[in-house]
Chains A and B, each alone.
Chain A
Amino acid sequence: MSEELHYKSASELSELLGKKELSAVELMKATIARTKAVEDKVAAFNSYDEADALKQAEASDARRAAGEALGPLDGIPVGIKDNLAVNGQPLTCSSKMLEKFVSPYDATCIEKLKTEGAVLWGRLNLDEFAMGSSTENSAFKTTSNPWNLECIPGGSSGGSAAATAAGQAAMTLGSDTGGSIRQPASHCGVVGVKPTYGRVSRYGLAAFASSLDQIGPVTRNVKDAALLLQAISGHDERDSTSYRISEPNFLASMEKQRGRKWTLGLPKEYFANAASTPAMEPVLKAIEFYRSLGCEVKEVSLPHTDYAVATYYIIATAEASSNLARYDGIRYTHRAEKFDTKDSVDIYCQSRAEGFGEEVKRRVILGTYVLSSGYYDAYYLKAQKVRTLIRQDFEKAFEEVDALLTPTSPTPAFKKGEKSSDPLSMYLSDIYTISANLAGIPGMSLPCGYSDGLPVGLQILGKPFQEDEMLSIANEFEAAHGFKDQHPSL
């Protein structure tokens, strides 16, 4: 088996499988071997089930032998963020609360991957309940950035990004509420796509903030992202917020638009502090590249950018405080062994005190506060109105341009422990990514260079339900640069 198998892209692997130069079992064995070889360093997985993965791979080989291969992902190992429900597998959300929880059902995206024949591989670490930007908020382990093990991989989909970067899975699924796919993808030098809100069913994704959450792909190249997005997209009756719109063939549409002269916008508010933003240089070079292609690049304004973080933290924590109320020590979660039986609510209070980590407590209490009596109008309702203004900013910008180019994150991956004592500064590092969630538009991060040896991501924000254009723009850059073939030395 080639040493490099674990770094081949899913599309390449798919071709090898199709030509029967590789079997799904061989691929899965190589993936398991790679995972084990580097997991001590990377710590991307909360758990994995080798026997189950090999069984899936065998089934894939049997299908292919019978001439019944299901699709391009048949036999491809896909890592799953540990907040997506897979029937019969743990679903911990990296929380003590769900440490022993085994899901009795499949998320819609998981069902779809099964229909495509993908091999579901492992449960990837995250910030507890997807709350965080570093994966340090996991109750179980701290995942390392494969490019520098002393650094965080980003978050909350840190396990997904790290595993993809480290070759522990051909591709992975993450979820993005305020940048949780794009920011870790940027920090780990991989491609991460947050689809338009409503493009991918949220059914089976443990909700953090329902009006902001989207599931999306984390891959080693743009083509793979298109493939995985294709597999999981589509209207779903079980998610009332999933959008009834047909999806294009992302890959074909992306190829077809090759060479198009795009009009690209640079939100001036995102570049105001360019000089003091360490990760900015590769981004500026990437912008130059698009100019050199003959794309029109122009400044646009998103005047309410400065209010996005505040708006986001009110809406996200309010929704979270309600979404996480179900983790209460009653039906399926951790229940405190000792609690005051004379106080009828202490079973909740104690179970939640033990089951939730610090960041989750902080956000749940903040969300409870902003919704509590007398504060609703000042915080939640106000934030919903500002959300409208932010959405309108984007609508206006997209009247002039096809997509926006921005940095994904103000800094490359930082050192573990560096920001964990100051939640507000951690929140402020989401500045470039959260607006897309508030506006419900698609966004992605694409490796565009390095800063101090750490990967830097270019963020592309697209028009609602036009992921194909966004991917196509990314594809131009990727095709002309070698970043997708750069891998961390582990």
Chain B
Amino acid sequence: MSEEKHIDIDYTAKLARINLTDAEKEKLSSQLDSIIGYVEKLEELDTSGVEPTAHPHPVYNVWQEDVVASELSIEEALKNAPAQRDNMIVVPKVVD
């Protein structure tokens, strides 16, 4: 089963927003193919009727009441920004 499937590395890397060189693509896709081949062993298990575990110790209704807590100062919020102007973060023009 694993030999048939090959990760579409171009599609997946783009989805993950990571540029890869051709050499990286080649190396990664073969490594990932072998990892994917390995994890496919889960298919052996019959899990019909088994509830998925999303949290190890699930509880319901964990919330806070609507009471305002303190904010970061604008200076602190932006101190790590790669580019800022007028207290806002500068990004290349995006087409909306």
Contact = CB atoms under 8 A, between A and B. Distances in A.
Given A332-B80, A344-B95, A345-B17, A423 B31 contact: yes
A310 B39 contact: yes
A388 interface: yes
B56 A386 contact: no
A294 B31 CA distance: 48
B81 to A, nearest CB: 6
A125 interface: no
A384 B16 CA distance: 22
Interface stretch (A360-368, A407-415, A447-455): A360-368
Interface string B9-45: 1011111111110001000100110111011111101
Interface string B46-90: 010011111111010011100000001000110111110000010
A330 interface: yes
Contacts of B47: 382, 385-386, 389
Interface in A332-360: 332-335, 339, 341, 344-350, 352-353, 356, 358
A370 B15 CA distance: 12
Nearest to A465: B57
Contacts of A368: 12, 15-16
Contacts of B57: 196-198, 243, 440, 464
A244 B60 CA distance: 12
Interface centre among B55, B76, B80, B94 (most CB of A within 10 A): B80
**Interface SS of chain A:** helix
Contacts of A362: 28, 31-32
B93 to A, nearest CB: 8
A329 B40 CA distance: 34
A464 B53 CA distance: 16
A321 B38 contact: no
Contacts of B11: 372
A369 B32 contact: yes
A400 B9 CA distance: 47
B50 A364 contact: no
A197 B56 contact: yes
A311 B38 CA distance: 10
B20 A361 contact: yes
A22 to B, nearest CB: 36
A384 B45 CA distance: 12
Given A211-B55, A464-B57, A424 B35 contact: yes
Interface in A90-129: 100-102, 104-105
Contacts, number: 166
B39 A379 contact: yes
Contacts of B15: 368, 372
A314 B16 contact: no
A307 interface: yes
Nearest to B76: A104
Interface residues of B, number: 53
Given A349-B17, A427-B35, A388 B89 contact: no
| Interface bin, chain A | 35 or more
Contacts of B89: 330-331
Contact of B91 (A243, A309, A330, A356): A330
Contacts of A347: 91-92
Nearest to B13: A365
B16 A381 contact: no
A440 B81 contact: no
A425 B34 CA distance: 11
Contact of B50 (A211, A313, A334, A389): A389
Nearest to A352: B18
A332 B84 CA distance: 10
B54 to A, nearest CB: 6
Contacts of A12: none
Given A313-B35, A382-B43, A391-B56, A335 B62 contact: no
Contacts of B39: 310, 313-314, 370, 379, 383
A230 interface: no
Given A321-B16, A368-B15, A389-B47, A383 B56 contact: no
Contacts of B43: 378, 382
A240 interface: yes
Contacts of A241: 55, 62
A237 interface: yes
Interface of A: 100-102, 104-105, 196-198, 211, 237, 240-241, 243-244, 304, 306-307, 309-311, 313-314, 321, 325, 328-335, 339, 341, 344-350, 352-353, 356, 358, 361-362, 364-366, 368-370, 372, 378-379, 381-389, 391, 423-424, 427, 438-441, 464
Given A329-B82, A332-B82, A424-B35, 5 more contacts: A243-B59, A330-B89, A361-B28, A364-B16, A389-B47
In the A-B complex, the 7 residue pairs with the smallest Cβ-Cβ separation, listed nearest first, are A440-B56, A384-B52, A332-B80, A335-B82, A385-B47, A348-B17, A353-B19
